[in-house]
Structure 1
Amino acid sequence: MKKIVCKRTAFVMAFLVSVVLIASCSQGREAGEAASLGNPNITADVVVVGAGGAGLTAAIQASQLGLDVILLEKNSYPGGTTIMTEGMFAVGSHYQKEAGVDIDQVDLLRRVQEYNHWLSNSIILQKFFKASAGTIDWLEDLGVEFTEVSFMGDSVQTWHLFEGMGEGYINSMHKAALAAGVNLMLETPGKELVMEDGRVKGLIAENKDGENISIEAPVVILATGGYSDNPEMMEEHVGVTPENSIQIGMPGRTGDGIKMGLSAGADTFYLGTAVFYGGNLKGIPYGNHLYTASAFQPTMVWVNQDGKRFADESIAGLNFSFSGNAIKNQRRVFSILNKASLDYFVEEGCILGTGGYTLTGTRLTELYDQIDEQLAKGNEGIQIADTLDELSSRIDVDAETLKATMAAYNTYCEKGADEGFGKKAEYLQGMTSGPWYSFELAVGYFTTVGGLKVNEHAQVLTEEDTAIPGLYATGTDAGGLYGDSYDVVICAGSCQGWAVNSGRFAAQDAVKYLGK
């Protein structure tokens, strides 16, 4: 089975606003508006805040277990950033068994924890792994279809790809939620927890007309998707700003759930962890020919604001999480290539592809047209010069340092051994003459993954590690699965898999908590 590099599906956003998903949402919107306008004070067993991958799962599971469920969503459609995913993690599934894939869960746990330096919660990981295969079966019973179990880069074969990708998955889950009797209220964000004697009593929401809705419920499940769209929180906790980063994902992830949890006395777990990827030239779409050439090829040379190399550049296409970390730690980053390198990509093909956008070996025939288009728009992230002295002046990098960096790199290429950072010899291609091209890269990120501290039941915990009665956090509102980096090279699809499984954990525990 072939290995697949992650193929982030930005085209889903265009699809979303035009066809199947928005059309299918109309039924939920009408029901939600009727509930919010006609019943300003509502009661339920459970309120789920956020109708993405985690929230839809929690709501369906809770309804299946006999609970009266209200599912709130601030956008006019369900799905969250799950719409942009391709698949999810599971271990021990029937797909893996049928493919002859035998993964030792204990060994996998150890590998993940060594990757995380034992910073993540092993008890959560154990439960997640053990439940994941059964969750695949549960999803199939709901109508979700999978195409295969595959890889992401060099990961273990755990990535269960959705039929129709993210929007196909959300379509099935949306229909399943309505069929299960979930009261889906769109354009109705959760605003404030209502607590009484330290226990959840309900929640205040707001309809699209700005009117408050009081919902009385003893259980609230937070599933609002983290805080990727909140610049203040991103700067405070992650250390990035809109000026030095590029965010990919659906709108609305402004930390609502995390802030509600904190207001109730919750603790956090590695709140500043995010899923970074190896950089992007601002103003261009992820995965087009210009992106593929400027930010993804292992033969490029990365230099920072001082004109110095700082990493093995091939990690951009082999471990996007690590390459993102490396770029984030610099003040400025430039991808340096010469025209001969770019001509090779056009005439012979790219060395590493970007999955569903540009396959490995694709001739980047649109590259120069896309460069010209960006230059015509005034994109100062692209600079072209005949000499390194001229290029260094254009990007405000010390000329002597840049020339020394390139000279050393060319020496490594001649020797066939990168004595700086150990790049594989097959990726060492010397660049000795211009014209020179510089592409300034900002760090990219898909989502935050640090959040409220939870236990294996998705119960939100205080600093004393006691559960806040009736409060649960799921998906990227919950911390515990990761340390400081996303484990993309081991457990492909783990973020989406955690969203689904944690949603089930919360619903299953809520039934016990309510004694039903």
Structure 2
Amino acid sequence: MLAKDKKYDLVIVGSGLSGSAAAAQAGLNGIKTLVLEKGHTTGGTGNYVEGVFAVGSKLQKKRGVKLTQKYILDEERNWTHALANMAVWRNYVAQAADNIDWLEENGVKITQMRTLGTGDDTWHLFDGHGKTAINEGLLPTAKKNGVEVITSAQAIRLTVDNSGKIQGLIIKDLDTDKEQFIEAKNIIIATGGYLNNEKMLNSNSNHNGNRIIPVNSGKNNGDGLKLAWSIGAKHFGMGTVMMFGGQVYDPTVPGYKNWMRQSNRAATYEAELWVNEKGDRFANEDCTDIWAIAGNTLIRQEKVYAILDQKQIDELSEHSFKGNYNYDHLKQDIEDDLNDQKPYLTEADSIEALAKKLNLVNLPENIKRYNHLVAEKEDTDFNKEAKYLHAIEKDPFYAFELGIGAFCTMGGLRTDVKNRVLDNNGDAIPGLYAVGTDGSACLVGDTYGVNVPGSEAGYCIYSGRNAVENLIK
């Protein structure tokens, strides 16, 4: 679809959570705005967001949660090893409670608040996830106030004048391949990062990009970053991925299809034995409550397998080892996986046969060692709690190959406290802003931590609003 007009005050590239927040704020401020969405529907990966961070909100106060802004800032400075831009964090945290009120004023329902794993009580959950927040709250607010939203429209080139100021951009109607030049003095990049671009994942980090399993819209291929880089934006903060730990490795289907299956949770969450491509154990497997730690633990191996025996499957079917999770369909999931010849699941009647099938040359020796630790009720190798030590001795034996699940990347562009995009000299490119995932390098070091749950999604709201308010000034 092409735009109705040829000139706008602002063009927002992307209609995910950050782009929709920017669109709503722009509409409320009476800015003539165009939102471009390359997909056929709006929302992108933002549709899957569960909730956003806040501290000092009315809901927190009602619940008696006594977190302070100083505590959050100290937590993030320490977690990021001071690599984050704490000036951005300071402003973001100070506005977080007001952003919850703003969301509710603009049609977004916040239903409850909770933590995630071992994190703090900061996660404010949407009614209906981000899909409802975006498509029944933020974008209707934007459209009601004159913002134009078009789909199947991709930005393919930014244009600048001789002084480097934004002039506009060229867009393409993906249904007809027709192009159109749009004049605009301000452009906000909100395209959601590069999680679906394996080449960029591999070239910008030590991650094994082929083992990262995106659980997202499938459209985040780095095109917004490339637009900004093409006019001189600094390559900055690449390589940080919001990893949520193990995910059964099945490159034949989208990641979300396996995410909620009981066989996936059993293989990735319950602190079973993990071995690498040689069949060697390499970590304390009880790290899954902190997603980022689990992800970092898994990504450094070339391959990872979770090894379970039939006794563990039987016991999990009766009760979870680590929480109140229901595994009443676990045996059926495994039977279905075997019948469907799922690439991540291998079964054998002996450990030796399992090792031979997967070329895990050290597996028999490591199983023997692990069973000895179980018998001694003390993991002197990696210090896993004794209650999570389960012998592997009853056939059949199962090996689940694990990839690393991920929701988004973080980084690509350097931005300042106004969400302006900076060049290699640290100067702002006049008229160019980046928000949400594209502009989130300022939040992290090498790891996104779920110690403060919802902080990336909350930043989508904050940065979208912040960019618009600053471009007005």
**Cα displacement (A) at 1:239:** 4.9
Match of residue 382 from structure 1: 345
Q: Spell out the pairing of 1:313-324 with structure 2 (5 A cutoff).
A: 313-316=285-288, 318-324=289-295
Equivalences for residues 139-154 of structure 1 within 5 A: 139-154=103-118
Equivalent position of 2:254 in the other structure: none
Number of the residue aligned with 1:350: 320
Measure the CA separation in 2 of the matches of 1:63 and 1:172: 13
1:338-382 CA deviation, whole Å, 9 max, x = no partner? 100001011x122246xxxxxx241x2322222222222222421
The 2-side partners of 1:254 and 1:52 are apart by: 14
What amino acid does structure 2 have at the position aligned with 1:441? Answer: L
Q: Deviations over 1:186-243 (max 9, x none)?
A: 1111111111121111111111311111110110000000011222212222455674
Match of 1:312 among 278, 281, 284: 284
Tell me what 1:10 maps to.
none
Any idea what the Cα deviations from partners look like across 1:58-87, whole Å, max 9, x if unmatched? 111122223111111111211111111110
- AA partner of residue 47 (structure 2): I
Q: Residue type matched to 2:171 in 1?
A: A
- The aligned residue for residue 223 of structure 2 is 256
**Equivalent residue in structure 2 for 1:325, among 296, 319, 329:** 296
| SS of structure 1 residue aligned to 2:171 | strand
Structure 2 CA distance, aligned partners of 1:365 and 1:156?
Answer: 30
2:448 to 467, 486, 495: 486
Tell me which residue corresponds to 2:232.
265
Tell whether the 8 Å contact from 1:231 to 1:241 is kept in structure 2 after alignment: no
Query: Which of 136, 141, 148 is the matching residue for 2:100?
Result: 136
For residue 7 of structure 1, what is the aligned residue in structure 2?
Answer: none
Q: Which residue of 2 aligns with 1:86?
A: 50
**DSSP-derived class of the 2:167 partner:** strand
Q: Where does 1:402-417 land on structure 2 (aligned, <5 Å)?
A: 402-417=363-378
Counterpart Cα distance in 1 of 2:217 and 2:435: 18
Assess if the C-alpha contact under 8 Å between 1:52 and 1:80 holds in 2.
yes
The whole-number CA distance in structure 2 between the counterparts of 1:202 and 1:95 is: 42
Q: State the partner residue of 1:431.
A: 392
Q: Is the 8 A contact 2:189 2:435 kept in 1?
A: yes
TM-score scaled by structure 2? 0.94
**What SS is found at the alignment partner of 1:450?**
strand
What is the alpha-carbon distance in structure 2 between the residues aligned to residue 268 and residue 106 of structure 1? 31
Partner of 1:301: 273
SS at 2:168 equivalent: strand
Q: Could you list the runs of 5+ residues in structure 2 that have no partner in the other structure?
A: 251-256
Q: Distance between the aligned counterparts of 1:475 and 1:500, measured in 2?
A: 8
Question: Is residue 175 from structure 1 mapped to residue 119 from structure 2 by the alignment?
Answer: no
- What's the CA shift string for 1:471-490, capped at 9, x where partnerless? 100011112111111111x2
1:471 is aligned to 2:432: yes
Give yes or no for the alignment of 1:279 onto 2:237: no
What is the one-letter code of the residue matched to 1:302? W
2:11 pairs with one of 31, 41, 47: 47
Q: Aligned-residue CA RMSD in angstroms?
A: 1.6
Q: Distance in 2 between matches of 1:459 and 1:55?
A: 15
Distance 2:144 2:381 in 1: 59
1:75 aligns with 39
Alpha-carbon distance in structure 2 between the residues aligned to 1:433 and 1:71: 58
CA distance in 2, matches of 1:380, 1:122: 44
Q: 1:250 to 1:361 in 2, by over 3 A?
A: closer
State the Cα distance separating 1:271 from its structure 2 match: 1.0
Q: Which piece of structure 1 moves more, 103-112 or 88-97?
A: 103-112
CA contact (8 A) 1:92 1:133 kept: yes
2:150 matches 1:189: no
Deviates more, 1:265-274 or 1:428-437: 428-437
Q: Which residue does 1:215 correspond to in 2? A: 182
Q: 2: CA distance between counterparts of 1:276 and 1:482?
A: 13
Contact 2:208-2:299 at 8 Å conserved across structures: no
Provide, for residues 292-346 of structure 1, a one-character-per-residue CA deviation record: whole Å limited to 9, x for no partner: 2222212x10000121111221212x01221112111110111001100001011
CA shift for structure 1 position 167: 2.0
Work out whether 1:117 is the aligned partner of 2:81. Answer: yes
What is the DSSP-based 3-state SS (H/G/I as helix, E as strand, rest coil) of the residue aligned with 1:217? strand
State the alpha-carbon separation in 2 of the partners of residues 484 and 264 from structure 1.
26
Q: Is the CA contact 1:308–1:405 (under 8 Å) kept in the aligned structure 2?
A: yes
Asked if the contact 1:62/1:511 (under 8 Å) is kept, the reply is: no
Whether the 8 Å CA contact 1:145–1:163 is kept in 2: the answer is: yes
Checking the alignment, whether the CA contact within 8 Å between 1:461 and 1:468 is kept in structure 2 is yes
Quote the Cα distance in structure 2 between the aligned partners of 1:438 and 1:45: 56
Please, what TM-score do these two structures have when normalized by structure 1? 0.86
Is the counterpart of residue 505 in structure 1 residue 453 in structure 2? Answer: no
Return the match for 1:288 from 261, 264, 270: 261
Distance 2:322 2:133 in 1: 28
Once the 2 structures are TM-superposed, how far is the Cα of residue 503 of structure 1 from its aligned partner? Answer: 0.5
State the distance in 2 between where 1:54 and 1:143 align: 16
CA–CA distance in 2 between the matches of 1:101 and 1:264? 46
- Please tell me whether the aligned partners of residues 84 and 442 of structure 2 are also in contact (alpha carbons under 8 angstroms): yes
The answer as to 2:62 corresponding to 1:98 is: yes
Unaligned runs of 5+ in 1: 1-32, 354-359
Tell me the secondary structure at the aligned position of residue 45 of structure 2.
helix
Separation (CA, whole Å) in 1 of partners of 2:104 and 2:54: 13
Deviation digits for residues 438-467 of structure 1 (CA, Å, limit 9, x no counterpart): 111112211111220001110101121111
Paired residue total: 463
Q: Which residue of 2 aligns with 1:451?
A: 412
- Give me the whole-angstrom Cα distance separating, in 2, the residues matched to 1:485 and 1:349: 32
> Which deviations, in whole Å up to 9, do the C-alpha atoms of 1:89-124 show, x marking residues without a partner?
111111111111121211221111211111111111
